[in-house]
Amino acid sequence: MDKLHHIVVVGGGAGGLELVTRLGNKLGKRQKARITLIDAVLTHVWKPLLHEVAAGSLDASTNEINFRAHARKHHYEFQLGRMSDLDRENRQITLEPFYDSEGVEVVPERHIQYDSLVIAVGSTANDFGTPGAQDHCLFLDSLAQARRFHNLMLNAFLRTNHEAKHGQPAQLPITIIGAGATGVELAAELRLASRELPVYGMNSLQPQDVSIRVIEAADRILPALPGRLSAAATRELERQHVDVLTGQPVSEVKADGVVMKDGTELPSAMTIWAAGIKAPAFLAELDGLDTNRGNQLVVTQTLQTTADRDIFAFGDCAACPQPDSDRPVPPRAQAAHQQADTLYKTLLNRLEGREDVPFVYKDHGSLINFSRYTTVGNLMGNLSGRSMYIEGKVARLFYVSLYRMHQVALHGFLRTGVIWLMDKISRAMHPRLKLH
């Protein structure tokens, strides 16, 4: 019997998991190819939801997907590990040894052979070398970081409530550095938390005791999105009593505050870095693969790395060109979803000796959700190419549908419908915020 073509996908984020799900259902189930997913953690949570996990608006345990269970249902294999090296000549990757929480080695270093390799390891925050950022900032790159943020937030609110209860000055200044979608949406979620937690026993703490500040180096928030959307988002943040500072970067982060470029020092009990992204550093050392300054793998229109046609990359970790544009495809969830679809077709074609499929990004617009307050956004017209501004319940419906579309890609329509119903029941039975 001929050896099955082995497709290895490194990274179980939104795009990577959607890709192996479709490949497993199409090829793995029929024994036409062997599909393997590799990730450094055991579960998947849609990354655009991490700010809700951090603020307590979403219970991650009800939205996690266990890779092992999902792999069994969708006919692919799962390997727990972190990629550390690549040997293109022998077509194999190396996985670091896996250690438990006490530092004991569980699984030694391993080598995985591949015929087609797909790298979809996402991105991490880029602090641009800002002094003190690594030591004093919180980040939201992973579920573990979001959960840590949530615990620290609850403790900070509890401490401030205790101080207020005993007549001490009660102030909890929170600073978010970076006013992209994550920073703006996190600010709204934190404002909701400041208003909800007093209902659950922290009644000495008032919302005005929690000051939330968003700092953006550009001259407006959401600088990558249309100006009208940025203006609407600014008005909504101000309506929620979130301070918006634009046009000046942070030059240093301290344990108890931030220093602006002009020397102004602002107090901060909790500082979150949400400005800029970069791909993981190890990508720049992978056996001659081309990368840019942000560690992204440089790929062609067909998502193949420039140095090796058997290695593909997509999502935030890849710099993919756009036709008639000098800018690469933006690092957004909708881009990763579209690239996963294109790469799925390419990998099927390769097994049948047909040509690779070029990727063309289609911008469907942007949506910014302000927790339970409102949603604003713009949708791109398929025919005219012009954008349409939307807000309120209609925008919220479109926003929620993005996550449901991701679930449909992973579970199918029927199971997603069941999950939606269970979410409704869970929200009716549990507190509006996760309290532990």
Q: How far apart are CA 224 and CA 130, in angstroms?
A: 22
My answer on whether 262 and 283 are in the same domain is no
Helix boundaries (H) for 245-373: 333-351
Please give the pLDDT value at position 392. Answer: 87
| 80 is a domain residue | yes
My answer on whether 164 and 292 are in the same domain is no
Please give the pLDDT value at position 198. Answer: 82
Its sign, for the CA torsion 418, 424, 236, 436, is: negative
The model's pLDDT over 17-75, given as tens digits with 9 standing for 90+, comes to 999 999 999 999 999 999 999 999 999 999 999 999 999 998 888 889 999 999 999 99
Looking at the DSSP bridge assignments, the partners of residue 400 are none
Looking at the chain, how many residues does it have?
436
Q: Give burial (CB, 10 Å; 0-12/13-18/19+) of 89.
A: exposed
| 128 is a domain residue | no
Structure tokens at 23: 């490949």
Listed in sequence order, the residues at least 6 apart from 291 whose beta carbon sits closer than 8 Å to its beta carbon are: 279, 283, 284, 297, 298
My answer on whether 16 and 112 are in the same domain is yes
Please give the pLDDT value at position 427. Answer: 77
- Report how many domains make up the chain: 3
| 230 is a domain residue | yes
3-state secondary structure of 278: strand
* pLDDT confidence tier of residue 385, bands split at 50, 70 and 90: low
Q: What integer is the mean pLDDT of 322-346?
A: 92
The model's pLDDT over 235-253, given as tens digits with 9 standing for 90+, comes to 999 999 999 999 989 999 9
Please give the pLDDT value at position 408. Answer: 92
Residue 103 gets the label, from left (phi > 0), alpha (psi -120 to 50) or beta, of left
Structure tokens at 367: 């949506």
Last residue in a domain, options 323, 351, 379:
351
My answer on whether 268 and 292 are in the same domain is no
Listed in sequence order, the residues at least 6 apart from 308 whose beta carbon sits closer than 8 Å to its beta carbon are: 88, 289
Last residue in a domain, options 248, 275, 302:
275
Quickly tell me which residue has 């600010």 as its tokens. Answer: 187
Please give the pLDDT value at position 429. Answer: 76
Please give the pLDDT value at position 202. Answer: 82
| 153 is a domain residue | yes
Q: What integer is the mean pLDDT of 379-385?
A: 58
Given a cut of 50, is residue 383 above it in pLDDT?
A: no
Given a cut of 50, is residue 1 above it in pLDDT?
A: no
The model's pLDDT over 387-401, given as tens digits with 9 standing for 90+, comes to 788 888 888 888 888
My answer on whether 168 and 97 are in the same domain is no
Please give the pLDDT value at position 167. Answer: 81
The model's pLDDT over 171-200, given as tens digits with 9 standing for 90+, comes to 999 999 999 999 999 999 999 999 988 887
Please give the pLDDT value at position 25. Answer: 97
Q: What pTM, to 2 d.p., does this model score? A: 0.92
Q: How far apart are CA 35 and CA 372, in angstroms?
A: 40
| 193 is a domain residue | yes
Which among 279, 276, 310 is positioned nearest to 292, based on CA atoms? 279
Q: Domain containing 342: what range?
A: 6-123+279-351
| 284 is a domain residue | yes
Q: What integer is the mean pLDDT of 77-82?
A: 96
My answer on whether 149 and 181 are in the same domain is yes
Please give the pLDDT value at position 428. Answer: 74
CA distances (Å), origin 211, targets 82, 159, 203, 267: 39, 15, 17, 10
Looking at the DSSP bridge assignments, the partners of residue 131 are none
Q: What integer is the mean pLDDT of 253-280?
A: 95
| 360 is a domain residue | no
Last residue in a domain, options 351, 376, 398:
351
My answer on whether 328 and 379 are in the same domain is no
My answer on whether 87 and 28 are in the same domain is yes
| 323 is a domain residue | yes
CA distances (Å), origin 245, targets 131, 249, 272: 20, 9, 15
My answer on whether 92 and 20 are in the same domain is yes
Structure tokens at 335: 């881009």
Q: Report the relative pairing of strands 318-319 and 297-298 from DSSP bridges.
A: parallel
Please give the pLDDT value at position 384. Answer: 47
My answer on whether 321 and 408 are in the same domain is no
Q: Which has more pLDDT, 422 or 152?
A: 152
- On average, the pLDDT of the chain sits at 92
My answer on whether 116 and 213 are in the same domain is no
My answer on whether 172 and 91 are in the same domain is no
For the chain, percent of residues with pLDDT exceeding 90: 73
* pLDDT confidence tier of residue 381, bands split at 50, 70 and 90: low
The domain that contains 326 carries what CATH number? 3.50.50.60
